[in-house]
């Protein structure tokens, strides 16, 4: 059974930084692209970032480009999202998401980790 | 970049009735559309991919269809566990992987 478990969320001040992690199990992690999707309180889903199976190709939403960095460690079955220059509008639940293969639909989602940006 | 527009925003349906949810793409996305279900406090779950293929374990009462840039999710006979928010998404000409704004299916 595929499991994705996010960690690293919390309260951070505007302008601060935070690193999210996603530990994956039940799959050959290195075979799949992975993504981060977020959901602000009471709002819809917003795509944040994605990374290819070998980490060589990355994509970012315009809203986070230049501030967020996605990476992965296939030896540890772990996906990361380094977030810097955080803004109040980055407040959301961040979901770790598995791609069906490479750049397709999203077939497994973690339970999410809440990031709150507030002074 | 294709924009996905869902309608209606809220759909009030009685248990046992049919629910029809719509999603329109602003340009061709071929059949590269997925539907997700999200219940309160839970992560989204994949229902449909390739516009009309049910994901593993999804009941047959859920079906998807497409006509040009119009995509439809139909729930043939609503069960209590189906009241949720539904999102469409395209994965054509990525990035970005754009979601619709969601349709909330509520009990009438």
Interval A73-113: pLDDT, tens:
999 999 999 999 999 999 999 999 999 998 899 999 999 99
Chain-chain contact of B99 with A45 (C-beta, under 8 angstroms) = yes
Residue of chain A with shortest Cα separation from B39? A111
Q: Tell me what the mean pLDDT of segment B92-101 comes to.
A: 83
Q: List the helix and strand counts (H, then E) for chain A.
A: 0, 11
Give the pLDDT of residue A66.
97
* Contact yes or no for A59 and B91 at CB 8 A: no
Three-state DSSP state, A116: strand
Measured between CB atoms, does A106 come within 8 Å of chain B? yes
DSSP strand pairing (B62-67 vs B70-75): antiparallel
Cβ–Cβ under 8 Å, residues B83 and A92: no
Residue in chain B lying closest to A104 (CA): B91
The rounded mean pLDDT for chain B is 95
**In the structure, what pLDDT confidence band is assigned to residue B91 with cuts at 50, 70 and 90?**
very high
* Residue bearing tokens 């951070």: A12
Out of A50, A60, A105, closest to residue B49 by CB: A105
Q: What is the pLDDT of residues A44-60, one digit of tens each?
A: 999 999 999 999 999 99
Judge whether A114 is closer than 8 Å to chain B, CB to CB. Answer: no
Residue B18 has pLDDT above 80, yes or no: yes
- Mean pLDDT for the stretch of residues B69-86: 96
Whole-number pLDDT of residue B98: 87
Distance from CA of B96 to the nearest CA of A (A): 7
Residue B93: per-residue pLDDT = 76
pLDDT greater than 90 at residue B94: no
Compute the nearest-CA separation of B34 from chain A (Å).
7
In total, the C-beta contacts within 8 angstroms joining chain A to chain B are: 57
pLDDT at B72: 98
What residues of chain B lie within 8 A of the CB of A47, using their CB?
95-99
For residues B85 and B104, what is the distance between their CA atoms, to the nearest angstrom?
4
């Amino acid at each position: 059974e595929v499991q994705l478990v996010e960690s690293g969320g919390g309260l951070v001040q505007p302008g601060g930084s935070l690193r999210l992690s996603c530990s994956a199990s039940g799959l050959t992690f290195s075979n799949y692209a992975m993504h981060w999707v977020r959901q602000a309180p009471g709002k819809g889903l917003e795509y944040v970032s994605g990374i290819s199976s070998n980490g060589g190709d990355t994509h970012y939403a315009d809203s986070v480009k230049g501030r967020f960095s996605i990476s992965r460690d296939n030896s540890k079955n772990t996906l990361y999202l380094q977030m810097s220059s955080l803004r109040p509008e980055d407040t959301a639940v961040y979901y770790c998401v598995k791609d069906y293969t490479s750049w397709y639909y999203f077939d497994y989602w973690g339970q999410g980790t809440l990031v709150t940006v507030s002074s | 970049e294709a924009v996905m527009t869902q309608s209606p925003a809220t759909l009030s349906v009685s248990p046992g009735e049919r629910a029809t949810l719509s999603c329109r793409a602003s340009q061709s996305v071929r059949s590269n559309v997925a539907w997700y279900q999200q219940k309160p406090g839970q992560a989204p779950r994949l229902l449909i991919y390739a516009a009309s293929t049910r994901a593993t374990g999804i009941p047959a009462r859920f079906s998807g269809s497409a006509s040009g840039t119009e995509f439809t999710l139909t729930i043939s006979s609503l069960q209590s566990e189906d009241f949720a928010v539904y999102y469409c998404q395209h994965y054509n000409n990525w990035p970005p992987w754009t979601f619709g704004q969601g349709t909330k299916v509520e009990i009438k």
